[in-house]
Structure 1
């Protein structure tokens, strides 16, 4: 019913306003008429169909009076802000809109989740909407029960608030957005959400005698990528922030824990799960206190306005957990793509059941806190939920003696290049120059280095059989350089800034061509994929690269690999020669 009324209002009003301006105006009109019909407003503040407002200016005046009064209690805030677009309506439009609403039956409430969903689907990028499947998953993971007091900081779309209200729990929401929507929801849905306008971190609300009110559970979806003043921790009056950091992810988790008695479900960027510094300090503290119940990875492109992948962190301050459930919610079987390339979480209830029932299967694992701490306190789900490729890697490593990569090679960082076209000219080889087969033969571009960099970095020039590996962007791409790399025109080559050089220390243990062949193989690429991290740009951390296990075959097996590699090199040489011949013949057909 309400959706139909909104559609009819849109036909009447949208000619005078932008789509983003329409909903605040339409919802205020709808709420005003509804509460007037139900007797919550009286006298000159109420809608009177016999004497409707003369024009938009008169209507704005009434709304301003309601907003500055206590006529609707806290929900009077629904009329504190009045969109300038309302003033642009003609007297005829105002009259037609109010006649439409006067004739409508507005007794029944507009279901909260339907109202917020309608708003999110129509309001565009300015409205940070969340998929219904995601809000349902978060509420189920939080184990929301009737009569619970639920804290919801960082609200924007109020969809989390709405789904919690459908479960008959009391909601306490915080938002930085000074707009009427949350109170309009109360008026249209007959709910009683407590709403505080302010920054949850800088100026939190819901205080009792100057202390932070504690809530049974919390659900939070902090905005990703926002930076705060690193000095916030020193200014904080509530002792919430052990880490001095600008990261909203760390600060938000600390803030939510400080306000929660029991369980909390927080959306976090994947960087929180692996990054050093304050992020690592937070992870180690949560692990030491055994406050992590589960980590759920979610697919990229799940949110409307970004392709960023993220995860859900399920925490519990009430009951310590010796084990953590890791669920790969980004598994292809759990979501589908819509026609616009967005991910739709079709199996969100299955994901919740895996966490709540603590079940292990092909997409979930239960790992002890001690094992996670032993794994550098890393919380990325792909470290623990092995794919079929991951199982193949483990099977191969079980067949051969193996060593950590750092035991086999020296890892050389790229030479810093000059920001200007001055200095010493060198040739740079980047991922785009890595060939599909054989040795890397052609550098991509000329760059310059300073004399000081040259003096300190002679070992960073490429040497015979060096292996380059990309650790940022096109991660995992590898190339090997020929025996003549350091002589003639090939002297003075360096790798690009997104690469590292792997230089085999003892060719008696493993030949560089064998190591390269393994890293380039399907199994080697699957192994590297397991250590890829990065919230927006894929990357491989050096300490993770150093630890990967490399199979070390015996000399006979290595000789077979070398023979196969050199045959690939020869085929590539013949192919290149044939291409040159093709080019010459083609150019000779027509000449200028």
Structure 2
């Protein structure tokens, strides 16, 4: 007998091929395939209404086929009724397709199917396209989340949000107490998969944040042992939720994102382990700081597991799993990075899968300091302004070497030796003075900044009150957003008065030394060094638009150089400038010679 996985997955793919060959709309293919497999499962379990069975006559006579669908719609089982009453997708199928589909199902009538729901959803995930209504994580992520929940025997599990559906199926293989709440009204897919599962799970179609389905007779939230949410990313909540206008008093921390509101809901709805997925920005953004602080200070946060980008079918956004214990008393948080080669394997050119889940669980249970796992005290997280970025606490070998060097050196924080200047506020074609804007494109790899070409105009009053916003000789330009971490040094002959002065654009900041004891060339050489670049790289955040927090930049330690090091640094920058001028001179000579050939 063939393995069930191969059987069910090949069955789903055969339906996909049949539908495509008969011109059936692609966005219906998952629905049609699941309904057909549900009929097969119900037939094998003698659960088709009126004693009906799969037979060849269903394939020959559309009247019998329609009678079967009508009987399913009239079933006393609410899930069966919902699956087949959702629309007329099966009734509208052409007879040639019905004939082929029933013939295909009959081949599986006497084959044991151990986990048809699990294998069906795995196939759907692998067949994900942009037209599919939900984006799912790779199936391996749901296996990891299921393992994080622990033993589910005799316990209840609550799942919310459409992307959590695969985990509802996996959990139902181990427990009869699984409840899935989703806002997705096209959710006959959830009911179909429930009917295929070893233990059917309860499906409720409601908005858990607005009107939760699982409440007691006293109008209190029903509590579960476990809770899970693979939340939609970046979706904003309605104002009444952000203002905590809620009869269940869930949203006690101000929040504007659905993923955060879901966390607060789960904390109220569950008494045991909670697993949630969050986008990378949740771990450090100012908007979510209050919630991070609440989770850490209350001892609820047990672990942060950083997942690789490319683990979701619908987006390349990097995400993490949070392991939360609403009744916990955690004094530290375990940080685990599973983005290394040890834990990932490619499934397609764009998508990844997790491997070695058992090792991830071992690292979670351990308190040892490992290359990809560490335990961090709540007090240290507090000192780091509740930043939960895994990269903040797990350092690669190069970062560890830099930290060792810094610990053995005399250092001073950057904000003690410099001040930071922003660019001026400008409006195109307004004002009497022309200024030139410096951005990332003007920053060369070595030496001086190229002469900017982008012009803007400012008024006399704006110029007079913002004179410090103009660039001065040997100012250091630092890009905070976009080409984050890129830097350059202003040439000594930059114009500082009159028309066509220079200023930085809005993506950059000016670093200007405030003491004669600190030579800007020395500081620039330090920031460009291996040690400086390693420190700067560790500050970069943002999966879509890389950025650096100015607050964090101000606090990086700078090694106080010896006299010899200062002299070497100044000589290095001067030499870079000489080299760059020589290169520009040679290029100009080359262009002049070339322009004389076959000129017009």
In the other structure, the counterpart of 2:55 is 49
What number of residue pairs does the alignment pair up?
A: 586
- Contact 1:467/1:516, CA 8 A, preserved across alignment: yes
**Residue equivalent to 2:380:** 371
Deviations 1:493-534 (A, max 9, x none): 1112111111111131x2111111111222211101212222
Q: Does 1:91 align with 2:95?
A: yes
Is the 1:154–1:223 Cα contact (8 Å) retained in structure 2? yes
Task: Specify the alignment match of 1:245 in structure 2.
Answer: 255
* Larger CA deviation: 439-448 vs 340-349: 340-349
Q: Within 2, Cα distance between the matches of 1:459 and 1:115? A: 65
2:569 to 555, 561, 570: 561
Residues 399-438 of structure 1 aligned to structure 2 (within 5 Å): 399-418=408-427, 420-423=428-431, 424-438=433-447
Deviation, 1:336, is: 4.1
Match of 1:576 in 2: 584
Tell me the equivalent position of 2:221.
212
For residues 520-531 of structure 1, the aligned pairs below 5 Å read 520-531=528-539
1:488 Cα offset (Å):
7.2
1:5 match: 11
What is aligned with 2:390?
381
Aligned to 2:4: none
Question: In 1, distance between residues paired with 2:254 and 2:556?
Answer: 32
Deviation at 1:46, TM superposition (A): 3.8
User: More deviation in 244-253 or 262-271?
Assistant: 244-253
Which whole-Å CA distance do the structure 1 matches of 2:487 and 2:323 have between them? 37
Instruction: Give CA deviations for 1:262-281 in whole Å, capped at 9, x if unaligned.
Output: 1111111122211124x111
- Structure 2 CA distance for partners of 1:18 and 1:523, relative to 1, 3 Å: farther
The 1-side partners of 2:43 and 2:373 are apart by: 53
**1:142 shift after superposition:** 2.2
- Which among 307, 316, 320 is matched to residue 307 of structure 1? 316
Deviation at 1:38, TM superposition (A): 3.1
- Report the Cα offset of residue 227 of structure 1: 0.9
Contact 1:469 1:478 in 2 (8 A): yes
1:144-183 correspondence runs (5 A):
144-156=151-163, 158-168=165-175, 170-178=177-185, 179-183=187-191
Instruction: Indicate whether 1:76 and 2:86 are aligned.
Output: no
TM-score normalised according to structure 1 size: 0.92
Preserved contact between residue 182 and residue 207 of structure 2 (Cα < 8 Å) = yes
Q: Using the alignment, how far apart are the partners of 1:540 and 1:490 within structure 2?
A: 32
Residues 443-482 of structure 1 correspond to what in structure 2 (within 5 A)? Answer: 443-450=452-459, 453-482=462-491
CA positional deviation for 1:6: 3.0
- The answer (yes or no) to whether the contact 2:313–2:351 under 8 Å persists in 1 is yes
Aligned to 2:3: none
Alpha-carbon distance, 1:556 to partner? 3.1
Q: CA deviation at 1:47?
A: 4.8
> Per-residue deviation at 1:203?
2.2
Q: CA deviation at 1:381?
A: 0.9
User: How far apart are residue 290 of structure 1 and its match?
Assistant: 1.1
Residues in 2 aligned to 1:253 and 1:131: alpha-carbon distance in whole angstroms = 22
The answer to whether the 8 A contact 1:151-1:171 is kept is: yes
Cα separation, 2, equivalents of 1:549 and 1:228: 40
Mapped pair 1:124 → 2:123:
no
- The secondary structure found in structure 2 opposite 1:493 is strand
1:11-26 to 2 correspondence within 5 Å? Answer: 11-14=17-20, 15-26=22-33
Give the whole-Å Cα distance in 2 for the aligned partners of 1:538 and 1:57: 61
Q: 1:192, 1:450 → 2: CA distance? A: 71
Give CA deviations for 1:385-424 in whole Å, capped at 9, x if unaligned.
1112211221332343211111111111222232x43334
8 A Cα contact 2:8 2:113, kept in partner: no
In the TM superposition, residue 256 of structure 1 has moved relative to its aligned partner by 1.3
Give the CA deviation at 1:237.
1.5
Cα deviation for residue 32 of structure 1 reads: 2.4
| Comparing 239-248 and 259-268, the one that deviates more | 239-248
Q: Residues 301 and 324 of structure 2 are in contact (CA less than 8 Å); yes or no, is this contact kept in structure 1?
A: yes
State which of 519, 533, 541 in structure 2 corresponds to 1:533. 541
Question: What secondary structure, in the 3-state scheme, does the structure 1 residue paired with 2:324 have?
Answer: strand
Which ranges in structure 1 are unaligned for 5 or more consecutive residues? none
Change (3 A) 1:589 1:388: same
Q: What's 2:69 paired with?
A: 63
Q: If the length of structure 2 is used for normalisation, what is the TM-score?
A: 0.91
CA contact (8 A) 1:134 1:345 kept: yes
Q: Deviations over 1:143-182 (max 9, x none)?
A: 2432221111113362111222233363111112222111
Q: Classify the secondary structure of the residue corresponding to 1:590.
A: coil
CA gap 1:402/1:138 in 2 versus in 1, 3 angstroms: same
Which position in structure 1 is the counterpart of 2:328? Answer: 319
Deviations 1:341-386 (A, max 9, x none): 3333234432232112333211211111111111111111111111
Q: Structure 1 pair 177/496, CA: closer, same or farther in 2 (3 Å)?
A: same
CA gap 1:48/1:313 in 2 versus in 1, 3 angstroms: closer
Which residue number in structure 2 is paired with residue 297 of structure 1? 306
Classify the secondary structure of the residue corresponding to 1:201.
coil
* Counterpart pick for 1:191 among 199, 206, 219: 199
Rounded to whole Å, the distance in 1 between the matches of 2:353 and 2:198 is: 30
Q: 5+ residue gaps in structure 2?
A: 1-6
SS in 2 for 1:536: coil
Distance 2:70 2:184 in 1: 19
Are the counterparts in 2 of residues 156 and 177 from structure 1 also a CA contact under 8 Å?
no
Give the 3 Å change call, closer, same or farther, for CA 441–450 of structure 1 in structure 2: same
Q: Determine whether 1:585 maps to 2:593.
A: yes
Contact 2:283 2:389 in 1 (8 A): yes
1:305 Cα deviation (Å)?
A: 2.2
C-alpha separation between the residues in 1 aligned to 2:488 and 2:213? 56
- The answer to whether structure 1 residue 101 and structure 2 residue 105 are counterparts is yes
- CA distance change for structure 1 residues 415 and 543 in 2, over 3 Å: closer, same or farther? same
Give the 3 Å change call, closer, same or farther, for CA 341–288 of structure 1 in structure 2: same
